[in-house]
Amino acid sequence: STPRMSMARVRGGLAIGLLLLLCAAMVAFLSRSRDIFLRSSRLGVPSLRNNRVAGLSRLSRRIRPQIGPTGASAFASAPDAKRVLVCIADGSEEIETSGIYDTLIRGGVDARLVKVGGSDKADLKCKMSRGMTFVAESHLEDLDEKAEAFDMVVLPGGLPGAQTFASSPRLLSMLKDRKDNGQWYAAICASPAVVLEPNGLLPGKATCFPGLQDKIASQLSNDPSASRVVIDNDCKVVTSQGPGTTMEFGVELLSILVGDEKADEVAKGLLIQRAAVPA
């Protein structure tokens, strides 16, 4: 019995010794981790969690940019920036809407997405022509400013978005006021033919989506095949043809709003070769 008791004591001692070693190793590990954390904090190294949050925040800003002067800091507009309304509706064209907005923001313009139409003014979501969802900053009917408060009003194309624009008394009134006051407005794709021409808002040379050019035959510029963007300086109207001409359209809007130097700078950054613009 005595040898058995001795063996049990030895085993018990070994177990206790191993447990103590394990505890010591754990304490050393925790102490080392604490030292690393404190040094990282002093050096300003963010934690993994903060890295994830910051990454998601940057990603969310790219996916859903803030509107107007609260946009991404790299392209933030100045307090005295030109102000532009970019109208959208259910069925507006995605490429045209995002391309126009992005180009204007790059040029330092205070661009604002405003929803037109819809039965619920509180619902600022727009389901675009290809199924994407865009979110406007405000609804046109809730806009306090008058038409003359903005330097330009821009209409993307797309159907039925352009038809919604054409059936909005508030929008048509704003555009007619701008025409009467000699203020700039612009439209691309279907909107020149569906919104502007039927309402007497296309008095001079213009272009539109090729499949709708028969509706503005008398306004087409002399060389329709070359008229990707048409600026009518007399009537203060800018028109363009469709998704593939969106960035050129946006750059020419910048040339009117902030000058050729800034427009050239933005065009270079977008790898766009500015073309001759017939009128």
CA angle 237, 239, 244 (to 5 degrees): 155
Within a domain: 64: no
Within a domain: 263: yes
Question: Could you report the average pLDDT of every consecutive run of 10 residues in the chain (279 residues)?
Answer: 60 72 72 58 42 36 38 58 97 98 97 95 95 96 87 98 98 96 98 97 94 90 73 95 97 97 96 72
Q: What are the C-alpha distances in Å from 115 to residues 12, 75, 156?
A: 78, 23, 12
Same domain, 173 and 250: yes
Q: Within 10 Å of residue 213's Cβ, how many Cβ atoms?
A: 18
Within a domain: 140: yes
**Which residues are catalytic, by number?**
189
Within a domain: 250: yes
Same domain, 25 and 77: no
Domain containing 9 equals 2-45
- Is the torsion defined by CA of 42, 45, 48, 54 positive or negative? positive
d(CA 87, CA 139): 9
Write down the pLDDT at residue 99: 98
Q: Structural domain tally of the chain?
A: 2
Write out the H or E segment, with its range, that includes residue 152.
strand 152-155
Write down the pLDDT at residue 50: 42
Within a domain: 53: no
d(CA 93, CA 71): 22
Same domain, 25 and 138: no
Same domain, 30 and 152: no
β-bridge mates for residue 153, sequence order: 85, 185
Within a domain: 121: yes
Same domain, 111 and 199: yes
Give me the torsion for CA of 200, 159, 63, 101, rounded to 10°: -20
Within a domain: 55: no
Write down the pLDDT at residue 218: 86
Q: Both tokens of residue 91?
A: 């069925």
Same domain, 108 and 8: no
Within a domain: 124: yes
Same domain, 39 and 145: no
Of 30, 45, 60, the residue that ends a domain is: 45
Same domain, 231 and 123: yes
Same domain, 115 and 170: yes
Write down the pLDDT at residue 225: 53
Same domain, 73 and 119: yes
Same domain, 111 and 214: yes
Same domain, 82 and 165: yes
Residue 169 is part of a domain; what is its CATH number? 3.40.50.880
